[in-house]
Every structure is written in structure tokens, then in C-alpha cells.
Structure 1
């Protein structure tokens, strides 16, 4: 009800300003102890991947809370996991504004943020102090002007490994020129080997996830799958935003440069999930992101091979009650189809 009342005001503002006000509100709410608590306990939704226990398979995708300011608040909304970032070694402003655009008619978003964040050293103390009502991931990237991007990832992974429940290497953003080149060949192998070494701290070795783009051909998908398995990546996040523009978009913002997310991304996200499921042969857990706004869609991804799903753009249109609603819907669907838990349904489509 509150979201329905405030949505017209938020949608009258520039997208980025509305986003920042939302983060401010959730940060303040989190400081008050998030009176609605965290994820509700439902044995049917509980699952385990990469040695981590998730109260439910719904995760907040990186990019929402870049600086880890509202971790408590997002856990309070009912997410089983929250992934902050992308964090870079040095603070950076990102790309020029405006850089975040709603495609209201299409229930989509285009962004060209460019890893805007306050730097990893500013965010990690907030992450360390957060009240974790679920699994906390930290997503790391390279500074735009870095002379050695792999060194940036090594630094980010090493620092985050001391705090995070898992660390994600993000080489999938379309908004940092040349970043997606790290998804290929020798550069990918070098990056993954270095990151694997960096996360191995004395007495602590958090899982390492890799986030990939949807704009990949079959050869690249097969090569990434092989490299991820060889270098002991614990899960793949499939996928980030797309630079493609599906036919039928009607919003006037459809031609803005940047990555497209939201409802129009769903068909491509489903295809890439199936591609990576086939390429990995089920040897790696998969996390599906892109166009998920209902429990039925989350279930569809699980049947297609996803162990977890992540949300971002749907929050813009559905509001803060989305995670709890999806959990209720997903639990009911699993029960309807005779699955005792999420794990039993993975890949059964």
C-alpha cells in the first residue's frame, strides 16, 4: 500500500534520484532494526549451494546497493541473499548523467552507470557490521582507467574474502569499455586463476562466483564453462544486462545506450541459462537473473537448472513486497508439483 501511494512521486523523479532515495530509506529502516524481520522460515524454500545455506533462493542482484548502505534493509524485505557492489579498488564517479532510464511501458530499465561506487575500502566496514539475516555476497570489478584490470580483481577478491559469504567476479557489465573482453581466452584463464588464489585466506576460503553476460555465442559459452570448472569457480551467475534491444519495445527510452534489464530480458536470460546448463553438464550451480517478477518465473528458471535466482529491475515496478510475494508463490507451486524443496526441482523441467 505504501509503495502504491509513493510510486507516482518516485516515478516523477529522475530514475537515479529515485533509486538513491530508496536506498536512503532502506538504510534508515535497517538502522531501526527492520521491524518485519528477515526471510521467513519455510523448509520448502531452504537450499544449499557452494557450502552456503540459503533460507530461500531469491537474491538481490548486484547493482542495487552498490555501496552496501542498506544491507540490513534489503535482508528485512525477505531476500535469502543480498549481493552488494560492484565495488572497485578506487572510488569512481561512473559515466556522465543521466545514465539510468525507466522503460515504463515495457517494465524495463536501461542503465549505463559504469561501476559508480565509493570504493571497496569504504564499503567493506559497512558489510562487516551488517546484521546478516541471510547470505551476503560482494561483487567486485575493475576501475575504468586501471592499467592492470586483473590486478584490480585480485585486490577486490582478496579484500572481500575476509568479509563476504561469497565473492562474485563481475566481467559482464557492458558499461566499462573492454571489460567483457575478460570473458574470453587467455585473459579469462589468467583472471580466474589469480582470483582463485586471492580468495584463499588463512583459515577462510569463501566461494567464488562468476557473473557473465547474456550476449555470448555458443563457443564463448562452452569456453567459459570449461574455464570456470577448471579454475574451481563455485557458481555462475547467468546473466547481466544485454546490449541487444528485443523487437517490440515501445518506450521512448528504448534507444538509450547501456544495458537493458527487466521483463524484455527474460527470454534471452532463459536461453542463456539453458545454454550454460548444457555446457556445464550440471557440474556447477547456476544462478539465474533477468526478467524475474513472479514465483512462476522463478520456478521456471529452477526447473531449467537454476539453484538460485536474483532480482533487480522488477523491484522498480513491483515494490518492496516483491521478495515475500515471490517466496509465497514459489512455495505454493513447489508444493503443488510435489517437490519437498528447491533442490529437488532444479533441472527437472
Structure 2
């Protein structure tokens, strides 16, 4: 049913418009009694329950940052069967992001190029919505992904991240420092160990008891991946997320003219699968067993999720395949994982 709907309707819509339409439905599914009915259909089997970061997850499979930028769909995504929802990326200062169009489907590759540019309502708005969710004692595990405000110079990035962390860490189940999006000028330069160290030290101190993780790019050299992994362990972070989107366009099936017309941005989806798995293995080999590793990038099926866990991932995240596989995607993965 959904593949037909995608081909006939959604694939013909502007991708960002389609996303907003989908988010409206997801928000509705998070409201009682729809949430109860939906969760009854999608609830993961009890055998999938896992404890990571001192938190209880109904399933190891969750939604990566980028889907719910403004903490509006967390309840609905939980109702659809995801084991956790990572909201954001949130910046200290509200921002509109890059000009539209900024989201492009590569259907032949089951992929997406985005240059959204951290469009979000800001840390104060996110904190307000998180307080309301906490007041409801909602069961969803919610991580918060924070990034640099575009108007803030790179040399002032630490203070910018700290401001977001101070507002959001007390309300988050875990906090993620995003230094790996390709869509904010200068951001990826913060992944260099000499600049990353003082940033993570400051945010770690501000986050307090909230588990802190860092999210890295798949485009790093292998030795850089290993160096950041060791740094995260040294600084006492709880974990690392591998990986964000890629700037590579290698090996795509989509016509070169279509890819070129989409322009700059991060590529996500199936083409990222091999490198994301490779980076996961590099990270896992560089860190102790108790250090949490979350794998993202190119995850489409339960087989993909299981492969990541077999390679050492404690949790697995997806996003892009949600656009191609539809609202019952998490349910399908969870059911297959229990067989």
C-alpha cells in the first residue's frame, strides 16, 4: 500500500512539503487515543528490550536526529514502534536554515541529499516542549542532538554549544554533540582533535549526569575516526554515534545530471551503508566494551540492524529509509528482529 502511495503521490511532491505532511500525521498519532491504538499495533516484543546508557529501550532501533528537529513528533514516533527518538539538531539561536529547495530524493539509490542547515526553533523552544513531555511522564526515550548556531563564529562555538547543553541536558535522556553536519560552514573542522577536545570538555562539564555522546562524519580518515574515539573515552563521554551524512557522491545509480542539479549537501540512505559499517567497526575496535556505540547510516532492514549489532553497535538508528518504506517501518524491523 505505502509503496503505491509513495510512487503515485509522495514522490511527486516537493520532499520537504511531503515531510511536513508526514510529520502532521505523526503528531496526530502521538495524541490519545490514537497513540494507544497505534502503539498496540506496533509495540516491540519484550525480547527486544535492552538497557544502554543506564536507560531502558523497548527496542534497539530508533530514529536518528534530523527527522524531528523541534520536538514535535516524539510521541508519535514512539507510538510507531521506535525504541528511541533523537530530536534536533537544535541550536542555541533559532534559525531558518538554508534557502529552499534544500531536500532532494535520489529514488534510484533509496537516498536523500539534504542541505537543511539546522533549521530549528532554537534551544529555548525545544526545552519548553521537552518540559511538557516530561510533565506527562511520557515513556519515549528522547536524546537531544545539539549543533552550532550559524551566526556564531567557529572560534565561539564552545560557548554556543554550552548554552544549548545548559538548557537541554537536564531534560534529555542523553545529549549528542553534532560536529559532523556538512551544512553549517566550518562545523566539520571542529572534529579535529585539537579543537574538539576543549569543546567536549566544556559540554561534558555542563551536561552533568546526562550521558554525553559525539556524532562523527563518515568522511573522516580511518586514523581520525580512531583518534576521536580514543578522545571520547579519555574525556569520559558515554558514547559515540557513527555516522552522519556523507559529502561523497561515489557509486550512485541516479543520473549524474540529477545529482549535480541537487548540489551541495549531505547524502544519506542506502549508499552510506558500507562506510557506516566500516566506521562502526573502527570505533568499536578503538574503545572499551562498556563505551556505547550507536550506528546510523544506510540502515533499511532488520538484517541491517542485526549486522550493526553483531559488529558491536549497542543501538541502531535510521531515518532515510523511513521516507521510502513508510510508517510501519519500525514495526517491520522489530517483528523481524524477534524471529
Structure-1-length-normalised TM-score: 0.90
Q: Distance in 2 between matches of 1:163 and 1:135?
A: 11
Q: Distance in 2 between matches of 1:10 and 1:124?
A: 32
Which residue of structure 2 lines up, in the alignment, with residue 110 of structure 1? Answer: 113
Cα distance change of structure 1 residues 242 and 170 upon mapping to structure 2, 3 Å threshold: same
Which residue of structure 2 lines up, in the alignment, with residue 347 of structure 1? Answer: none
Matched, 1:75 2:78: yes
Query: How far is the alpha carbon of 1:281 from its aligned partner?
Result: 4.3
Query: How far is the alpha carbon of 1:30 from its aligned partner?
Result: 1.7
* Larger CA deviation: 2-11 vs 132-141: 2-11
| 1:254 equivalent among 249, 259, 268 | 259
Matched, 1:52 2:55: yes
Residues 113-192 of structure 1 correspond to what in structure 2 (within 5 A)? 113-130=116-133, 132-147=138-153, 148-192=156-200
Which residue of structure 1 lines up, in the alignment, with residue 234 of structure 2? Answer: 230
Which residue of structure 2 lines up, in the alignment, with residue 13 of structure 1? Answer: 13
Gaps of 5+ in 2: none
Task: Judging by fraction of residues, say which structure has more helix.
Answer: 2
User: 2:74–2:140: 8 Å Cα contact kept in structure 1?
Assistant: no
Partner SS state of residue 102, structure 1: strand
Which residue of structure 2 lines up, in the alignment, with residue 206 of structure 1? Answer: 210
Which residue of structure 2 lines up, in the alignment, with residue 293 of structure 1? Answer: 300
Partner SS state of residue 175, structure 2: strand
Query: How far is the alpha carbon of 1:272 from its aligned partner?
Result: 0.7
Output the aligned Cα RMSD: 1.6
User: 1:101–1:253: 8 Å Cα contact kept in structure 2?
Assistant: no
Partner SS state of residue 317, structure 2: strand
Cα distance change of structure 1 residues 282 and 247 upon mapping to structure 2, 3 Å threshold: same
Matched, 1:194 2:197: no
Cα distance change of structure 1 residues 248 and 6 upon mapping to structure 2, 3 Å threshold: closer
Q: Distance in 2 between matches of 1:253 and 1:68?
A: 32
User: 1:55–1:134: 8 Å Cα contact kept in structure 2?
Assistant: no
Structure-2-length-normalised TM-score: 0.93
* Larger CA deviation: 122-131 vs 309-318: 122-131
Query: How far is the alpha carbon of 1:3 from its aligned partner?
Result: 6.7
Give CA deviations for 1:66-111 in whole Å, capped at 9, x if unaligned: 0111111111100010011000011111111111000011100000
